[in-house]
Structure 1
Amino acid sequence: MKLASLPLGLAGRATVGLGKRVTGLADEILSEQAQRRTAEHVFSVLGQLKGGAMKLGQALSIFEAALPEHLAAPYRQALTKLQNAAPPLPVASVHGVLERQMGADWRDRFIEFDDAPAAAASIGQVHRAVWRDGRQVAVKIQYPGAGDALRSDLRHLSRMAPMFKVLQPNFDVKRITVELRERLLEELDYELEAATQQQFAEAFLDDPLIVVPQVVHASSEVLVTEWIAGRPLSEVITEGTQEERDAAGLRLATLHFSAPKRAGLLHADPHPGNFAIGEDGRLVVYDFGAAARMPGGMPVQVGRLTRLTLDGKADDVVAGLRGEGFVPPGLKIDAKAMLDLLQPMLEPIAGEEFQFSREWLRKESTRLTGQGSEAAKLNKQMSFPPAYLLIHRVTMGSIGVLCQLGATAKWRSILEEWLPGFADPEGTDPNR
C-alpha cells in the first residue's frame, strides 16, 4: 500500500516534466533541486516496498539513460540504489523463514551462515554461507509476506505506469502492467526460479564468456545456489576502463541473443544489479525469477524482419510487420516511411562496429517521441502484439545497460551467430 503514499501531484509533475524535456514540447521543467527531491522520495517509497514497485524502480534506473544528463543525474543516483539496496530483515525473521522452509535443523545444512545480508533482491535478500559439503553458497530468502505485499503493490502500480511512456508513448499501459504483474508474481516461486536457473546453468556450462551459478537447494521461499563472486556491473559502468566496459557489453549481448537458442529461455531482468564480472573475466548472471520461456528459441520473424529492414526491403518489411500484428488491419503504410522509422534504431548493427551511448539513446528517444516528428506520428499508429511485449521490454532494458556501459563491439556478428532468421531472411537454410 506504500506506493499509494507517493503524492500524486509530485509524481504527476515529475512525469509531465520528463515528457516535456524528452519530447522537446517545452523548455520549462522542474528545477534540479525539485527533481532531486522527487527522486529521493521515489527511492524512499519504492525501496521500502521490497516488491513490484522496487522492480519498477530498477527498470527506471535503466531507462534513465535516455534522459538528458542534467535531468537524469538525480534519478540515476537515487534509483540505482534500488539495484543493490533495501532495508534488511531482522535476524529473527531470517531464521524464522529458514526454519519454516528447511526444518528446525536448518543449521545442520550449513557449516557457516552469515546473518548479515550480502545483497538485496527485489522480494528477498541474499546471505553468504558455506554448505555442508564445503561449497560457498548464496542463500536467497524471500521476505515474509512478500506475496501479499507484492499483490497489494501491483494494484497501485498503475500510478507509476505513465513513466513508461517516456520511451514508448504508444504503449498500452494497461497491457504493460498486466504483463509486468504476471512476470513479477512468477518471481514469488523460488522452485520455478531454481528450475529456470539450472536450465541456464547447464546451457552455459564451461562457456568462455558467461557463467551461471549452479542450484544447490530450493524450496518455495529459500533458494541456495553456488556463490560466484565478481565485480558488480554497476561498478564497471561507473569506474571501468573502456576495455572492461566493452568486454562486459559483448558478454551481455551474447547472453541476450544466445540464451533462447541454447537454453530455450530469455533472461528477462537485465539491470546492472543482476550481473557481475568474475575473476576469470566471464559475465556472472544472477536472479532468474523473471524469464521468458522460448522452447523454440527467439521467433524467427524477429531476425528476418531485422535483416530485411537493414537490407532496405521496404515492402517485405511492411508485409512482415502486418503479418505479425504490428500494423493494424486496414492501416495504409508508406513503405519508405517505415524504413525511415526503423533503420535508425538498427544503427548498432548496420556497420562493422558501434559504440552505444546515452547520447545515442536520447537522440533515438527524441526522434521517436518528438512533437511533429514523422517517425513519432507513424510510431503512434503502430500496434504492439502481446507475444512480443516481453521480448521488446528485455531488449530495451539490455540496450539501456549497453548505453550505460558505453560499450563498443561488433554487435552484428552476435546476431549473425545466434538470431534465427537474421543470416537467412529468405528462409533458404532450414537450420537458420
Structure 2
Amino acid sequence: MSEPDREANRFTARAARYARVGANMSGVAARMASARIFGREQGAANAIALAQALGGLKGPIMKVAQLLATIPDLLPPEYAAELQKLQSEAPPMGAAFVKRRMQAELGPDWQSRFGSFDLHPAAAASLGQVHRATSKEGAALACKLQYPDMQSAVEADLKQLEIALALHRRLDPVIDTSEIGKEIGERVREELDYEREAKHATLYARLLGGIDEVRVPTVHSDLSTGRLLTLDWLDGEKILNFAGADVEIRNRLAVAMFKAWWHPFSDSAVIHGDPHLGNYTVFSEGGEARGINLLDYGCIRIFHPTFVGGVVDLYRGLQHGDRERIMHAYETWGFKNLSHDLIDILNIWAGFIYGPLLEDRVRTVADGVEPGAYGRRQAFQVHKALKDKGPVTLPREFVFMDRAAVGLGAVFLHLRAELNYHRLFEAEIENFSIERLTSRQAQALAACDLKLQT
C-alpha cells in the first residue's frame, strides 16, 4: 500500500471515530443539558446511557472515561458509579491479524526470534493486547502488542473529551476542568509510546530494586518497538483472590502496595498513575503469598521535586495545625487566589486523603467505608461548599496524584488491611529534603533516558 493510501486510511479511520464517538457523546450531552435547563432529574438514566455509549467502543475513550470517574465529584455520583463499571476489555485481534501486526513490528522473520508465541491473547485491554511467548532460551515472556490506528483513536477521543469538559464547565462551573483536559491528553498520548513505557519499567526496576515485596519485569529491548513491548512474564494470582485470606497475608500485600506506590514518589517524585486492580498480581513463595508483581507502566507521572515538597508540607501542616504551611503547600501545587474559606474547603478533601497517615494507630484506610463509596461523602461536601466559595481550578499535576491516591485507598479497602499507615509514611519521608530528592531524581532519570513531565 502506498503512503497516500495509508494516510487516506488513517484519515478515514479518524473521521469514523469522530462520528461514532461524537454521536454517542452528543446524544447523552443533549439529555444532560435539557435536564439541567428544565430542572428534570434524570441523572441515573443519563449515566447508564453514557456508560453504554462509551462501553461499546474499543480504545482509549474507555480509559479516559474511567479516569474521569475517579476525579472527586467531577461527575455526579450516579455518572461516576456507571463509568466505574466500564471494563478495559476489548474484542481481541484474531490470529491472522496478530501475525500481520507482529510482522510490521519485527519483520517477516519475527517468529524465528521467539521460542514460542501464542497467537491468542492472554489479556485484552483498551490500547492493545498481551500474548504469552518464550525466548529462544526458554524464558517466559509477555508481549504487549498495540492495536492498529490507536493514534487516530486517541486524537478523536481527546477531541470529544474537550467537548465534554467544556459542557461540564458551562453546566457546572464549580470546578474548572481546563487543566484536567490538558493533563489527561498528554498522559494518554504518552501511553501510545511503548519505548517510553519500556524506560518507565526500567526506572521502576531501579527505584524498587531493594524492596523484596515488589517485583518488576525486565524489558527485552531486542523484542520491543514503539508499538510492541516485551517483558518478563511474572506468574501471579489476582489480588482480589486474597480478599478473604488471613489478616496477616492481607496486611503483607497492602504493605507491598504502599511501598510500590509511595517509595518511588518519596525517592524520585514518580508515581504509578493507574491503580487498576488488573495492573497487579500476587506472587507466592513456599505456597504463601509474599508480595506483588507490578505489571503495567504506561501511566507514569514524573513530578518536579517541589510537588513532593508540597505533599510533605501539607502533611506536616495538617499534623501541627500550621495554616501557613498548608497554604504554602496548596500554592506550591498551583492553586490560585486562595482565601481562608477556600483553604478550609480544600482541607475537607485533604483531611480525607491524609487521615490514615496522620493517626498513629492500626486502622483500616477508611474505617467503616465500603470500597464503592470511598471518598464520596467528602467529595459531596467539597462540591457543595465550592458552590458558595468557588470556583476553583484544579492544577494539572493534582489530577493523577489524586486519582492514584484514591485508587490505592480503594485497594486497601478491598483487602481490608489493618495497618499503621502513619508509621509507614513517616518511614518514607524520614530523610526528606528537596535537595536530596532533586539529586536522586536527576540520577534516576538520566540512567533511564527520561525527563521531567510538564
- TM-score, normalized by length of structure 2? 0.75
Q: What does residue 133 of structure 1 align with?
A: 137
SS in 1 for 2:229: strand
The one-character-per-residue Cα deviations of 1:76-107 (angstroms, maximum 9, x if unpaired) are 5x41x22xx11101222211121122122111
Q: Is the 8 A contact 1:126 1:138 kept in 2?
A: yes
The one-character-per-residue Cα deviations of 1:145-196 (angstroms, maximum 9, x if unpaired) are 111221222111234448999xx97443222111111111111111111111
Instruction: Give the alignment partner of residue 10 of structure 1, picking from 28, 37, 40.
Output: 28
Using a 3 Å threshold, how does the CA distance of structure 1 residues 147 and 172 change in structure 2: closer, same or farther? same
Instruction: Give the alignment partner of residue 260 of structure 1, picking from 260, 265, 270.
Output: 265
Cα offset, 1:293, TM superposition? 2.3
SS in 1 for 2:126: coil
The one-character-per-residue Cα deviations of 1:203-255 (angstroms, maximum 9, x if unpaired) are 22352221111111321111110001222235556x66666554443322222
The one-character-per-residue Cα deviations of 1:295-314 (angstroms, maximum 9, x if unpaired) are 75962221122211121112
Cα offset, 1:389, TM superposition? 4.1
Cα offset, 1:138, TM superposition? 0.2
Using a 3 Å threshold, how does the CA distance of structure 1 residues 180 and 360 change in structure 2: closer, same or farther? closer
The one-character-per-residue Cα deviations of 1:255-275 (angstroms, maximum 9, x if unpaired) are 221013445532122222211
The CA distance in 1 between the partners of 2:65 and 2:351, in whole Å, is: 30
Q: Is the 8 A contact 1:353 1:410 kept in 2?
A: yes
Q: Is the 8 A contact 1:120 1:126 kept in 2?
A: yes
Amino acid at match of 1:414: L
Amino acid at match of 2:419: A
Cα offset, 1:316, TM superposition? 3.2
Q: How does 1:396-411 map to 2 (within 5 A)?
A: 396-411=406-421
Amino acid at match of 1:128: R
Cα offset, 1:344, TM superposition? 4.4
SS in 2 for 1:192: helix
Cα offset, 1:376, TM superposition? 6.2
The CA distance in 2 between the partners of 1:234 and 1:16, in whole Å, is: 41
SS in 2 for 1:88: coil
Q: Is the 8 A contact 1:299 1:420 kept in 2?
A: no
Q: What does residue 324 of structure 2 align with?
A: 315
Using a 3 Å threshold, how does the CA distance of structure 1 residues 252 and 179 change in structure 2: closer, same or farther? same
The CA distance in 2 between the partners of 1:338 and 1:7, in whole Å, is: 32
Q: How does 1:160-309 map to 2 (within 5 A)?
A: 160-161=164-165, 170-205=174-209, 207-217=211-221, 218-233=224-239, 235-236=241-242, 245-262=250-267, 265-280=270-285, 281-294=290-303, 296=305, 299-309=308-318
Using a 3 Å threshold, how does the CA distance of structure 1 residues 399 and 67 change in structure 2: closer, same or farther? farther
Q: Which moved more, 1:115-124 or 1:403-412?
A: 403-412
SS in 2 for 1:144: coil
| 1:55 is aligned to 2:78 | no
The CA distance in 2 between the partners of 1:267 and 1:297, in whole Å, is: 18
Q: What does residue 367 of structure 1 align with?
A: 381
Q: Is the 8 A contact 1:190 1:219 kept in 2?
A: yes
Using a 3 Å threshold, how does the CA distance of structure 1 residues 186 and 211 change in structure 2: closer, same or farther? same
Cα offset, 1:348, TM superposition? 1.8
Amino acid at match of 1:255: A
Q: Is the 8 A contact 1:303 1:421 kept in 2?
A: no
Instruction: Give the alignment partner of residue 107 of structure 2, picking from 84, 89, 103.
Output: 103
Amino acid at match of 2:276: H
Q: Which moved more, 1:291-300 or 1:109-118?
A: 291-300
Identity of aligned residues (%): 24
Using a 3 Å threshold, how does the CA distance of structure 1 residues 73 and 54 change in structure 2: closer, same or farther? closer
Q: What does residue 146 of structure 1 align with?
A: 150
The CA distance in 1 between the partners of 2:111 and 2:155, in whole Å, is: 32
Using a 3 Å threshold, how does the CA distance of structure 1 residues 377 and 414 change in structure 2: closer, same or farther? farther
The one-character-per-residue Cα deviations of 1:13-66 (angstroms, maximum 9, x if unpaired) are 57999x9xxxxxx9955557x755553443123xx2x22x12123325656999
Aligned-CA RMSD value: 3.9
How many residue pairs are counted as aligned between the two chains?
402
Amino acid at match of 1:368: V
Q: Is the 8 A contact 2:237 2:281 kept in 1?
A: yes
Amino acid at match of 1:104: P
Amino acid at match of 1:391: M
Using a 3 Å threshold, how does the CA distance of structure 1 residues 322 and 186 change in structure 2: closer, same or farther? closer
The one-character-per-residue Cα deviations of 1:383-423 (angstroms, maximum 9, x if unpaired) are 4444444433433343344445554322222221224787x
- TM-score, normalized by length of structure 1? 0.78
The CA distance in 1 between the partners of 2:102 and 2:239, in whole Å, is: 30
Amino acid at match of 1:88: P
The one-character-per-residue Cα deviations of 1:327-378 (angstroms, maximum 9, x if unpaired) are 42xx5425984686343442222212332334452221222123xx4x7645
| 1:391 is aligned to 2:390 | no
Q: Which moved more, 1:384-393 or 1:131-140?
A: 384-393
| 1:90 is aligned to 2:94 | yes
Q: Mind listing any 5+ residue stretches in structure 2 that lack a counterpart? A: 1-16, 441-454
Using a 3 Å threshold, how does the CA distance of structure 1 residues 68 and 295 change in structure 2: closer, same or farther? closer
The CA distance in 2 between the partners of 1:161 and 1:104, in whole Å, is: 44
